[in-house]
Structure 1
Amino acid sequence: MQEILDRAKDCYDSGLPFVVYRKPNETDVFGVFQSNDELRSSKDFTEKGFVFAPFNDDNQVVLLQPDEVWEGKYQTEKSEAIKDINLDESGKEVHIELVKKGIQEIETGRLQKVVLSRKIQVRITKPPFKIFKTLLSKYPNAFAYFIHHPKVGTWCGATPETLVKVKDKKLKTMSLAATLPFIEDETPKWGNKEIEEQQMVSEYIGDKLAHTMERLEIDEAESVRAGNLWHLRSEVRGTMLPNLKVSEVVRALHPTPAVCGIPTDEAQKFIHKNENYKRTFYTGFLGELNLRSQGELSLFVNLRCMELQGDTASIFVGGGITEASDPESEWIETQNKSKTMLGIL
């Protein structure tokens, strides 16, 4: 793995595109390196490489060309204990007003749910690759990555959410929603708001995929831990129709209700109009595209991530707003979520 990181550092210093990543619950670490700084894009998901896609359709899906693919083993390192974090209350009033606006829009009947987020900027005191190694050690059950393209920027993260995996026409995805803080020796106590929010996401994914599948199964929701948070998750499995293109499945699923809302188009319009910043690649997706065989992909939603620019990191936190949401509680949820990436930094 150290050789992969050394190669990545050379590319970083030389302004060449690369990604280094590890899949959830695995020890293999991969590096995909492009030999020039050309900005390539995926048109229809038939290309081979690693994709990095934005939240918004207007921007292109970045494709890293696999001129070199390296593989190594991750040796678990003892990570430093995360210190208590002093949370900044600035931005509270603005976020609460945004949540209130979202609830008002839901009350008109145009939306059932909308996911609203905010950006926090902090100074970096750690080198970028040290941040990535901390992500690897802290979150073994997440998709951990570090990606750099001189024409796009530098991002890293450890996301708990699969967008979609496809192999031999067999599809796997998940319905992930609702959040509670993790408390030692306590099981999460989900309220009606969280249970309904997760059920809404499951039903929406079922509706979106129904016409594309020969068979579709959605499991009951279960509590899953992601760092210092709990979420509700249902596994989704299906067999794609013979003539279905992978691009159709990706378009059906992205953006998911867990990062956008229901109905998706209306929620996306509301987000673009009312959020106080541009998400770019936050809540987009990333992962392997036809890297091992044609028609095989492994894509993850870009959550629990940060953008690195000079000596500043931008982290992003949000939550699903429904008619039952309480603006003050939604602010507290984003504060709890911010501890994950602030702790890494």
Structure 2
Amino acid sequence: MNNQEKAITLEPDLGSFTKEELIRAALQWAGKQGLPVALWRRPFQSEVNLLLSFEAAKEVTQYDIQELSNGFAFAPFSFGEEKGLFISGDILLSFDFNETVFTPLNKEQGSEQIQKFKVQLIEQLEASRTNPEVPLNGGMSLTEPSSPSDYEHLVERCIEAIQAGTFEKIVPARSKDIALPENFDLVAFFNGLCQAYQNAFISYVSIPQAGSWLGATPEVLIEKETQVFRTIALAATQRYNPDASLTDTAWTQKEIEEQAMVSRYIINCFKKIRLREFSEKGPETVKAGNLLHLKTTFEVDLQATNFQELPTVMLELLHPTSAVAGMPKEETLAFLKVQEKLNRRFYSGFLGPVNIEDCTHLYVNLRCMELAGSHGRLFAGAGVTAHSRPQKELAETEMKFNTLLNILNQSH
């Protein structure tokens, strides 16, 4: 957002409230109205954004990036078989450097409705001082999750299928249910994630038909910034050692090949649509919270290639990526449908702001937790190849659970 826009939309009547008070009140307002809301902070940014809508989230079968209005996308893992959701943006609240910026996004909304919202928000700010609890949408069925030994057996079946020559890689997932601490403070937890994980996309999305989800994902699916398209291949995982330099990180052959598969898949997508003009950087070791990964970045100049629809085309080709499903894609999806016995819902789907300030940033929904009442459900997966060991893959999922659990434990 440029300085001129900030000067126009800066709201002095909201300036006496803290960022935390405004976020909490806005989330409470959306919950009371039964409306969707999205809160996020992009990697390496300090600005926190909160998107509010005056209508229910739309169900969509395709995210046409060129045609969509300002808003926020939230899609399930099985997008295609199931519909995705889109929150149309009416109000964007942005917080940076102790400054609050109030931006009406929908030009069709009249000033009366905007003013009515401001009055309701300020009333909610007063009410939230005595009742700070944020209502959570949805109510997942907290069925008994599979045991660690069940997951190890699943990994064994994956290895057997790969060794039989059917697959190159399979990414089985598991869930873990936890009790949230008493007096769980959603806003404080979100802030804790922002402080701990500068290089992750931190998000909270609450939609009546989807539930309430918190996450800290390191993985870009697609990005469009003005005339630049970007996607990344992110795979391979090991624990971060603060005493060691990233440049000295050693990777096993299994991990290098796992990441190379994801890069090859992206290049094959480019070949499929006959796109040859792209830049490739990597693989490089990157830190994501308490973990390290291998990352390769691909960029395309949309103007030079005259391919404005590329973000929409690549979104359809890439999701779900081989980093969350496996290779070959269709075969691994069919295998997981039978063997995994887990409803991933929005875990390993994708989410992010669309066409806000001429930019779209969609991320794979990893390191996430669904919230319901006093409980949470964590999700994680691990890439299995012919050289995998079940105990090591189980340990990897526990490390990924800890991305959220470490901050949850610190904040209480």
TM-score by length of 2: 0.76
Conserved in 1, the CA contact under 8 Å of 2:173 and 2:342?
no
Whole-angstrom distance in 1 between the partners of 2:265 and 2:323: 10
Aligned counterparts of 2:177 and 2:161: Cα–Cα separation in 1: 28
Aligned residue runs from structure 1 range 309-324, under 5 A: 309-324=372-387
2:397 to 334, 338, 342: 334
1:224 to 2:303 alignment: no
Provide the aligned C-alpha RMSD in A: 1.9
Rounded Cα–Cα distance in structure 1 between residues aligned with 2:93 and 2:60: 22
Partner of 1:156: 214
* One-letter amino acid of the counterpart of residue 399, structure 2: N
1:197-216 matches, cutoff 5 A:
197-212=258-273, 213-216=275-278
Give the distance between the partners of 2:284 and 2:173, measured in 1 at CA: 25
5 Å-filtered alignment, 1:229-244, equals 229-240=291-302, 241-243=305-307
Offset at 1:332?
A: 1.5
Aligned counterpart in structure 1 of residue 334 of structure 2, from 260, 269, 285 = 269
Match of 2:54 among 22, 35, 38: 35
> In structure 2, what is the equivalent of residue 188 of structure 1?
249
Q: Is the 8 A contact 1:4 1:71 kept in 2?
A: no
Q: Which segment drifts farther, 1-10 or 140-149?
A: 1-10
SS at match of 2:370: strand
Rg larger in structure: 2
Q: Tell whether 2:299 aligns with 1:278.
A: no
Identity %: 33
Query: Is 2:188 the partner of 1:167?
Result: no
1:210–1:216 Cα contact (<8 Å) kept:
no
SS in 2 for 1:219: strand
Of 244-253 and 270-279, the range deviating more from structure 2: 244-253
Map of 1:307 onto structure 2: 370
Contact 1:119 1:314 in 2 (8 A): yes
Higher strand share: 1
Q: Deviations over 1:58-97 (max 9, x none)?
A: 111100010111211167xxxxxxxxxxxxxx82210111
Of 68, 71, 75 in structure 2, the residue corresponding to residue 47 of structure 1 is 68
C-alpha offsets along residues 168-193 of structure 1, whole Å, 9 cap, x if unaligned?
44211111000111123124321111
Partner letter of residue 216 of structure 1? Answer: F
The structure with the largest helix share of the pair is: 2
* 1:149 counterpart letter in structure 2: I
Q: Which residue of 2 aligns with 1:72?
A: 95
C-alpha spacing 1:27/1:5, structure 2 compared with 1 (3 Å): farther
* SS class of match (2:205): strand
CA contact (8 A) 2:326 2:383 kept: yes
Report the AA paired with residue 279 of structure 1.
R
User: Letter of the aligned partner of 1:278 in structure 2?
Assistant: N
Residue 210 of structure 1, CA deviation: 2.8
Pick from 37, 51, 62: which aligns with 1:18? Answer: 37
Shift, 1:270, TM fit:
1.3
User: Which residue type is aligned with residue 201 of structure 2?
Assistant: F
Q: Are 2:57 and 2:87, in contact at CA under 8 Å, matched by a contact in 1?
A: no
CA distance in 2 between partners of 1:74 and 1:299 (Å): 25
1:119 paired residue number: 175
The answer to whether the aligner puts 1:344 opposite 2:363 as a matched pair is no
Residues 4, 72 of structure 1: 8 Å contact kept: no
Cα distance, 1:4 vs. partner?
Answer: 3.5
1:243 Cα deviation (Å)? 4.7
**CA distance in structure 1 between the aligned counterparts of 2:206 and 2:148, rounded to whole angstroms:** 32
Q: Distance in 1 between matches of 2:37 and 2:62?
A: 20
CA contact (8 A) 1:17 1:149 kept: yes
Structure 1 residue 331, shift from structure 2 partner:
1.3
Q: Tell me how far apart the structure 1 counterparts of residues 147 and 386 of structure 2 sit (CA, whole Å).
A: 23
Q: In the aligned structure 2, how far is the partner of 1:315 from the partner of 1:74?
A: 32
Q: Structure 1 residues 299 and 38 mapped into 2: Cα distance closer, same or farther (>3 Å)?
A: closer
Give CA deviations for 1:15-44 in whole Å, capped at 9, x if unaligned: 221101111001111111111335443634
Q: Which runs of 5 or more structure 2 residues have no equivalent in the other structure?
A: 1-18, 99-145
The answer for unaligned runs of 5 or more in structure 1 is 76-89
After TM superposition, the structure 1 stretch with the greater mean CA deviation from structure 2, 15-24 or 205-214, is 205-214
- Cα deviation for residue 209 of structure 1 reads 2.0
Would you say 1:133 and 2:198 are equivalent positions?
Answer: no
Task: Rate the CA distance shift 1:110–1:74 in 2: closer, same or farther, 3 A.
Answer: farther
Contact 2:75 2:84 survives alignment (8 Å)? yes
* Contact 1:40 1:64 (8 Å CA) reproduced: no
Whether 1:99 and 2:121 are equivalent positions in the alignment is no
Following the alignment from structure 1 to structure 2, what is the Cα–Cα distance between the partners of residues 188 and 333? Answer: 17
TM-score norm. by structure 1 comes to 0.90
Change (3 A) 1:258 1:50: same
Q: Which amino acid aligns with 1:64?
A: I
Residue 59 of structure 1: which of 82, 91, 106 is its match? 82
What secondary structure does 2:222 align onto? Answer: strand
